[in-house]
Structure 1
């Protein structure tokens, strides 16, 4: 992985942690998720007329990705309602890269080097250590754990789907924009059918969430997909999990969560994995 790709993925990780913190801090987690998704869809819709259309071969993968990501947003909101971000986020983001690494070899034919595998293992070890530290402090629930692990499977699924789809598209930017347009439309229609009045009242006072969060999630995933066209999918997916490090910093400074020495040690493991991935 080149220095540019590493820097882009790390920035994408920071953006990802930031918009997740916005969702977690919202008064209504699900409606905040809908606003973030809707904001990304609106921005994407404005940009699509100026972008090249994705190749026809990528559209089946795009459709599969949209289905998976609608499930992702729903499980994300449910996991954050059930437990703390410091518990759910590491499980969701940390379990996924190992699944991607194991699946990308037979599906994508990507053979990772020993050092890349060591980097993936290091990052995953840090993530799991972070989870164990949260568990020791009683910061988890069984429901949150189940929802987070289910979402990890979904994350691994759409990561592999989009890793293939974006390569077939010939137009990574447009492929990404279409994902967000269709995701946002799906969530919005479902919410209008179930909670129309709640959404209207919430959006009237929280419209900035749609703008800021939408920009964050769009840029985060778009940059990650671009990186997947320049480096192995599993390597990008693992390095992107350094968002847990950024999420911990945000939790400490913005959300004012207490971080124990054990949690800082876990964060250090994740950082070490990022450095190892850089030199692999």
Structure 2
């Protein structure tokens, strides 16, 4: 698998594979966000996910993939503080705001910052038509967030700080996307980075989650929490692994933009699972998100 991945880097086949991987990551990331927000405290759910990340990734890191060497260890370890800050931001935002309001803001802030990061770090440039696509996509994402903000009826008193935290967290999304893309490209075997990333970057939240669970007045069933964590870990492997492989195979900025179609999937999850309502205005806004991603993709060819 590693040989095939490296053999199609920078090729037309690699471009098509990156496109599919980024869209698959978008779908899975929306599921991941809903799992963390869900009906369980977001700190506890994130900690349970990271416990399973460690359990599932450690055997692969130790016995399946080549071990990192030299500066590769530093690159993998460098992801820990960035992702820790991101996870704190997501938990803080989810504990204060509705999923369909917070999630679009976090994902909407990421693409523009990532495009600039990819330009600085990797020398990637977007065409004027691609920038138009980004504007169309962002208009849909932020339009969706504003519409949800105006119509949401629960926890309105905490929505403003939730949105501020979500905006900052969106910047952290761009930071970790750019950093991780650099790290996975600098590691000869991409699966070495992925396996050890899930081991090292998952050591932080379990302790916080345990403390949080112990101090909750209404503690969730630990068996249920661990099953949620297992499901979330499987989804995380697919989501993060897919988008990171996409950034190795093709342009980082394009992969980041396509991943933000996760907002469309998140809205669908909010409707079908979390019982949010979706009217014609939301459908139009979600169409703008998809249209923007299509423009970015087609204009880059």
Instruction: State whether TM-score is above 0.5.
Output: yes
2:195 is the counterpart of 1:177: yes
Equivalent residue, structure 1, for 2:168: 150
Question: 1:54 & 1:9 partners in 2: Cα distance?
Answer: 25
Q: What are the within-5 Å matches in structure 2 for residues 86-101 of structure 1?
A: 86-101=100-115
Question: 2:25 & 2:69 partners in 1: Cα distance?
Answer: 25
Question: 1:37 & 1:202 partners in 2: Cα distance?
Answer: 18
TM-score calculated relative to the size of structure 2: 0.86
Deviation at residue 232 of structure 1 after TM alignment = 1.1
Deviation at residue 63 of structure 1 after TM alignment = 2.2
Deviation at residue 40 of structure 1 after TM alignment = 2.0
For structure 2, the 5+ residue unaligned runs are 1-11
Count of aligned positions:
279
Equivalent residue, structure 2, for 1:252: 271
Equivalent residue, structure 2, for 1:59: 73
Greater helix fraction, Structure 1 or Structure 2: 1
Question: 2:282 & 2:69 partners in 1: Cα distance?
Answer: 45
For structure 1, the 5+ residue unaligned runs are none
2:252 is the counterpart of 1:238: no
Instruction: Give the SS at the match of 1:276.
Output: helix
Deviation at residue 195 of structure 1 after TM alignment = 4.2
Question: 2:212 & 2:104 partners in 1: Cα distance?
Answer: 30
Question: 2:230 & 2:252 partners in 1: Cα distance?
Answer: 29
Cα pair 1:35 1:203 within 8 Å, conserved: no
The more displaced of 217-226 and 108-117 is: 108-117
Deviation at residue 205 of structure 1 after TM alignment = 3.1
Residues 16-37 of structure 1 deviation map (CA, whole Å, 9 limit, x = unaligned): 1001111111321210111112
* TM-align CA RMSD: 2.0
Cα pair 2:105 2:170 within 8 Å, conserved: yes
Cα pair 2:53 2:233 within 8 Å, conserved: yes
Task: Please say which structure displays the higher CA radius of gyration.
Answer: 2
Deviation at residue 99 of structure 1 after TM alignment = 0.8
Residues 167-208 of structure 1 deviation map (CA, whole Å, 9 limit, x = unaligned): 00112222122222122212123444x347469974333221
Deviation at residue 138 of structure 1 after TM alignment = 4.5
Instruction: Give the SS at the match of 1:229.
Output: helix
Equivalent residue, structure 2, for 1:261: 280
Equivalent residue, structure 2, for 1:130: 144
Cα pair 2:48 2:209 within 8 Å, conserved: no
2:287 is the counterpart of 1:274: no
